[in-house]
Structure 1
Amino acid sequence: MKGQGQQGQKGQLAQREPWITPYFRMYSGRFALYLILGVLTLLTASMLMFTSGFLISKSATMPYNVLLVYVPIVGVRAFGIGRAVIHYVERLVGHDAVLRILSKMRVRLYRVLEPQALFIRSRYRTGDILGALADDIEQLQNVYIRTVFPSLVALFLYAAAVIALGFFDWTFALLIALYIFVLVAVLPYISLKLTRKMDTQVKQERNGLYQKLTDAVMGIGDWVISGRSADFLREYEQDEEAVMRKERKLRAWARWRVLIGQLVVGIAVVSMIYWSGAQAEAGQIDYTLIAAFVLVVFPLADAFLPVSEAVQRLPEYRESLNRLDRISGRDSAAPSGASAAKVAVSPEAVAAAAGSAHLRLEQVRFAYGVGDGNSVDGVTLDIPQGKRIAVIGRSGAGKSTLLKLIQGAIAPTGGAVTINSVPSADYGDDGIPRIISVLNQSPHLFDTTVANNIRLGRPDAEMEELARAAEQAQLAELVAGLPQGLDTPMRETGQRFSGGERQRVALARVLLQNTPVLILDEPTVGLDPRTERELLSTIFRSTAGKTLVWVTHHLVYAEQMDEIIFMEHGRILMRGTHAELMEREPRYRNLYHLDCPKEG
């Protein structure tokens, strides 16, 4: 039970935890190694240039014995090879850590979204989710390898360079410290102040383009049919050009920033030439060290110049984090009554409900937000195991909300929804799938085999069980005609099959799941009347003994239901058996005659 409690709170913990800092602790060893290697890379590069400068100057004096330059020759070779090897290992360690983090971030985002699957489309736009999964998560890898660690390495080398130079001349060391301060503090601050607003705008507008393009791709058929595809492309290109103008301004400033940084480095080089020459003139250092001191400035500059770009990226990271926080911290803005941290019930209670489930709704009310009207208002239902109930009503009557309440996806703002006297929300994300299965109007079929699509209902099922579920769903003849039987690929979204065949595959999936309660959420929408009747006949025949909650707009086979309720404005307007409603409710009788003229 303790393990189930921890599992039930996993999504909540993921929502409260920051997106950046936990991974510093998780991968502290790798990051420490990455920092050390980063420092060593620049130190070996500096020593390579220092030794090379000394070797060139010493060789120019034409020493009478090659042994006098043997040590610097060996040093150049060692530092040259060492720099390349250390830099390679540094990149390997850094990217290994970052790719591990990206993997965990994506899993974490999925864990945040997965419990909200039943109402995810009403909360988020598809483009936002795709943007978060692709762009925002990808963007955050740069926090580590392009911002935090380069800045830490630069600050370490800043201190080391000033201290090392201080051993020769503290006055000149302070002057160099001022130059470096301009590179690691002043220039980044100015860059951030000048570009922060525009960087934020570019990020937000890019997100808008992402959403607009996603929306257009999903509706591309309608754009083409309406003859408006050219209008969309023109509008999209105008919006993209507006974003690109801002990006060009940012790139123009980046070029100026690099130029200013190079000028500061150039001034530092000239100052180093002047100082080292003066020091050699005064006999403080050897003349052969002048080139060594000057050349060492260049690899150190490679550590300081990227700091400006690293700091300038902060607004982009903030926007990415804001969007991830809006998604992962959604509970704070969730609809009133949304299911919060779920209390795990005992395994025995889940097992009992998986065998026989008695559903009760007692004066249930639910509103999506403060001040909103009740989507479900005072609904009372008693559904013992095996009862078949149909829920009808126009769009917006509260039918879908009622299903979410039964599934425990949301908790009522008033009244109670229970399964075997336990609130449905308390069964959690692991318990409910063992009790309730759903066949909706557009089940997703994956680009894999028929068998794998059916096996989603129970991953450990044997092939014999899959075949039996397919036979119950009246798929045996179809499967027999496929080139590879159950191992035949279905193609993306099941395009290989017709609408009725796809629904039968989904039915086989829920039959394999073998739950005591089956929710039918308008599974025949879009099917022709004959296919609709055949599918419903198959469903009712194959689910004998199971509880059925059937949401529908049609009254075909309504006579097979034990109870029919008609909802309007969240309330039950009519209820009874088909015969009772036909006798006493003229409105129901008229609807039935329109829907089923032959039976009428």
Structure 2
Amino acid sequence: MRATDNSSQGWFLPYLKHYFWAFLAAALLGALSIGCAGALLFTSGHLITRSALKPENILMVYVPIVLVRTFGFSKAVIQYLERLVGHDAALRLVSRMRVRLYRAVEPQALMIRSKFRTGDLLGLLAEDIEQLQNIYLKLVLPALSALLIYAAGILALGWMDGTFALLMALYGGFLLFIAPAISLGTSLAKRRTFKQERSKAYQELTDALFGMSDLVLSGRTGHFLSTFTQRHKRAAMVENSLRRNEWRSHWIAQCLVGGGIVIMTVWAGGLVAQNRIEATWLASFALVTFPLLDAFVRAGEAVVHAPEYQDSLRRLKDSEKDTSALAARSDAGQAADDAADTKEEQATAQRLSHGGDLLLNNVSYCYAATQEWSVRNISLHVPQGGKVALLGRSGAGKSTLLNLIQGALQPDEGSVTVAGVPVFTGGAYSSLFAVLNQQPYLFDTTVANNIRLGRPDASLDEVRAVTEQVGLGALIDSLPEGYDTRMQETGLRFSGGERQRIALARILLQNHPIVLLDEPTVGLDPLTEHELMQTMFRVLKGKTLIWITHHLTGMKHMDEVIFMEQGTISMRGSHDELWRDHARYRNLYKLDHPGLEI
């Protein structure tokens, strides 16, 4: 049965707990920095007032002068330490998040195009992780520091005047809690709309980049630019509206800060009138209010962006759906388990390094979104070195079955094993299977490095050997810098058939016992297809081959040919058996250019 999703561990609280003391230290330093700013203005107000009275001796204001300098330097030093500690914890935390995200997405790489749109994936990898960093740096730390200052300030005022402390507690509470909630409520819908428009713009832009040549050839470039510009304008209008709302909220908050300063000044004036404090302290109480209330405002403004963080948290959580327990679990506190799992995977990989019989026993699978069986009751036995072709229309279940075979999906019913070992082991399948698909990706680095992707520690002699096997040795030697020649982006230097041969060389370096061929000849001209197939069957001799294809060229080389329809097997047998017993097969074979058969 399919493994349960083990991604319930969140993306926020576990990391906050793991780095709790670091963030607490940063919050305390932040509160101390605000306190130093308040003490600096408090002392400065007293110093200015005392100096205005023209003291007879400089010693009369010497202590305030020293304190002003002390608090001034202390504020800068403590603020630096607060940012150092806070950013260090946040960056370490984000680093662990990136590892976790990679472990969640990497096992889904085989189906990544079907599970994620490219724009969404780019946003997930880039924007969402950065948003989580901002949760801690721009929301959690300022909020904690403001709460500490709020509590300390109310306690200090309570020591002097309990009634006024209660009034300021309500006033500060409004700034810290009520005003941000009101601002958030009024802008929530607009923020969601802006997020949706920006996400759609990402998707459309990435679609256009990948299909730019088709847009140009079809003359639809102008239409795309017009549509994209309109969407961008709509997003810009929503963003401008949000900025205006933020400006109004900020203006109101500053007015409230001014009101708090007036209230504090009136209260301090009352204390002076009652002879409870000297008149030289009046300016101090007025000035100290500035940094304290400003800290409340900044913390409140950070809360308004909470919905953006929620969306990022939701997408990151969704990225772990249908991921194996090994790939989906959190890093935090799991180092020992990871080491144990790695040893187990290495032992499994060693045991399966020479392959074994591939056995599918009544395998069934359905995608939760559709609630329909994509594959139903499939049984298959392929001995090591056997060759099987899977054919069928698009949507017949071929790709799903291929993903089940290589362990990217776990069956809802039945099992898939190699040499008796289940392939769905959270990563061990990578030592069993090599894949040659329709469009192997070639990186913008040297030819040798692209081939070494199959085995990074391969020597240049080994790279030369496999390129000779796939028939590329003379071509690469003729390049300006030989094996050190750069591929150019996506391998533009080479033709489609040559790119497939480079990918085939990677597979030979991997030397895995089972090779999955996912329509590797699609888009090639008949002659190139014929030559590539000859090369594949020659160099992959002795390996188990599972070949997905839409047409019947090369079926004489296969031990078994399987036709799939609606997730089930509709016809199976060797080429000779199907030719003899099934008129449908004979008709399909005749329609598929039998003259090109090898």
Q: Report the TM-score when normalising by structure 2.
A: 0.90
Query: What secondary structure sits across from 1:409 in the alignment?
Result: coil
Are positions 1:32 and 2:24 aligned together?
A: yes
Residue number in structure 2 paired with 1:406: 405
* AA matched with 1:303: A
Farther-moved stretch of structure 1 (555-564 vs 491-500): 555-564
Encode CA deviations 1:401-437: one digit per residue, 9 max, x unaligned: 2212221222334444321233332xx2432122221
Residue number in structure 2 paired with 1:6: none
Are positions 1:258 and 2:250 aligned together?
A: yes
Farther-moved stretch of structure 1 (567-576 vs 518-527): 567-576
Residue number in structure 2 paired with 1:191: 183
Farther-moved stretch of structure 1 (213-222 vs 305-314): 213-222
| Alpha-carbon separation, structure 1, partners of 2:543 and 2:323 | 34
* AA matched with 1:483: P
Encode CA deviations 1:429-482: one digit per residue, 9 max, x unaligned: 432122221111111222222222222222232332222222222221122122
Q: Which runs of 5+ in 1 are unaligned?
A: 1-8, 333-341
| Alpha-carbon separation, structure 1, partners of 2:142 and 2:118 | 35
Residue number in structure 2 paired with 1:59: 51
Are positions 1:211 and 2:203 aligned together?
A: yes
2:151 pairs with one of 143, 153, 159: 159
Matched-pair contact (CA < 8 Å) for 1:128–1:211:
yes
| Alpha-carbon separation, structure 2, partners of 1:201 and 1:599 | 55
Q: CA deviation at 1:156?
A: 1.3
Matched-pair contact (CA < 8 Å) for 2:553–2:594:
no
Residue number in structure 2 paired with 1:572: 569
Are positions 1:83 and 2:75 aligned together?
A: yes
| Alpha-carbon separation, structure 2, partners of 1:366 and 1:174 | 63
Are positions 1:472 and 2:464 aligned together?
A: no
Residue number in structure 2 paired with 1:395: 394
1:267-346 to 2 correspondence within 5 Å?
267-330=259-322
Query: What secondary structure sits across from 1:262 in the alignment?
Result: helix
1:95 pairs with one of 81, 87, 105: 87
| Alpha-carbon separation, structure 2, partners of 1:370 and 1:316 | 26
| Alpha-carbon separation, structure 2, partners of 1:316 and 1:250 | 13
Encode CA deviations 1:250-275: one digit per residue, 9 max, x unaligned: 22222222222222222222222222
Query: What secondary structure sits across from 2:236 in the alignment?
Result: helix
| Alpha-carbon separation, structure 2, partners of 1:124 and 1:554 | 29
Are positions 1:502 and 2:494 aligned together?
A: no
Are positions 1:126 and 2:134 aligned together?
A: no
Q: In the comparison of the two structures, how many residue pairs are matched?
A: 579
Q: Report the TM-score when normalising by structure 1.
A: 0.90
Are positions 1:517 and 2:514 aligned together?
A: yes
CA gap of 1:60–1:464, structure 2 versus 1, over 3 A, is same
Aligned-residue identity in percent? 50
2:109 pairs with one of 97, 113, 117: 117
Q: Which runs of 5+ in 2 are unaligned?
A: 325-340
Residue number in structure 2 paired with 1:335: none
* AA matched with 1:472: Q
Q: CA deviation at 1:365?
A: 3.3
1:542 pairs with one of 539, 543, 549: 539
Matched-pair contact (CA < 8 Å) for 2:44–2:284:
yes
Matched-pair contact (CA < 8 Å) for 1:183–1:307:
no
| Alpha-carbon separation, structure 1, partners of 2:399 and 2:308 | 38
Query: What secondary structure sits across from 1:526 in the alignment?
Result: coil
| Alpha-carbon separation, structure 1, partners of 2:170 and 2:230 | 45
Farther-moved stretch of structure 1 (16-25 vs 213-222): 213-222
CA gap of 1:429–1:531, structure 2 versus 1, over 3 A, is farther
Farther-moved stretch of structure 1 (577-586 vs 108-117): 577-586
| Alpha-carbon separation, structure 2, partners of 1:488 and 1:448 | 8
1:585 pairs with one of 563, 582, 587: 582
Query: What secondary structure sits across from 1:355 in the alignment?
Result: coil
CA gap of 1:378–1:300, structure 2 versus 1, over 3 A, is closer
1:417-496 to 2 correspondence within 5 Å?
417-425=416-424, 428-496=425-493
| Alpha-carbon separation, structure 2, partners of 1:349 and 1:267 | 70
* AA matched with 2:573: G
| Alpha-carbon separation, structure 1, partners of 2:172 and 2:348 | 67
* AA matched with 1:76: V
Query: What secondary structure sits across from 1:598 in the alignment?
Result: helix
Encode CA deviations 1:106-153: one digit per residue, 9 max, x unaligned: 221121111112222222222222112222221122211221221111
Residue number in structure 2 paired with 1:243: 235
| Alpha-carbon separation, structure 1, partners of 2:195 and 2:72 | 41
Query: What secondary structure sits across from 1:433 in the alignment?
Result: helix
Are positions 1:563 and 2:560 aligned together?
A: yes
Q: CA deviation at 1:236?
A: 2.5
Residue number in structure 2 paired with 1:338: none
Residue number in structure 1 paired with 2:358: 359
1:20 pairs with one of 12, 15, 22: 12
Q: CA deviation at 1:193?
A: 2.2
* AA matched with 1:149: L
Matched-pair contact (CA < 8 Å) for 1:209–1:240:
yes
| Alpha-carbon separation, structure 1, partners of 2:417 and 2:347 | 16
- What CA RMSD, in Å, does the superposition of the two structures yield over aligned residues? 2.5
Residue number in structure 1 paired with 2:334: none
CA gap of 1:331–1:47, structure 2 versus 1, over 3 A, is same
* AA matched with 1:167: W
Matched-pair contact (CA < 8 Å) for 1:593–1:599:
no
Matched-pair contact (CA < 8 Å) for 2:104–2:323:
no
Farther-moved stretch of structure 1 (572-581 vs 430-439): 572-581
| Alpha-carbon separation, structure 1, partners of 2:446 and 2:370 | 48
| Alpha-carbon separation, structure 1, partners of 2:566 and 2:49 | 91
Encode CA deviations 1:159-206: one digit per residue, 9 max, x unaligned: 211222233333333332232122112212221222223223322332
Encode CA deviations 1:331-383: one digit per residue, 9 max, x unaligned: 69xxxxxxxxx999786654343213111233433333487554334433321
Residue number in structure 1 paired with 2:382: 383
CA gap of 1:153–1:379, structure 2 versus 1, over 3 A, is closer
Q: CA deviation at 1:392?
A: 2.5
Encode CA deviations 1:535-560: one digit per residue, 9 max, x unaligned: 11111111121111222223333222
CA gap of 1:567–1:281, structure 2 versus 1, over 3 A, is closer
Query: What secondary structure sits across from 1:375 in the alignment?
Result: strand
Q: CA deviation at 1:597?
A: 4.3
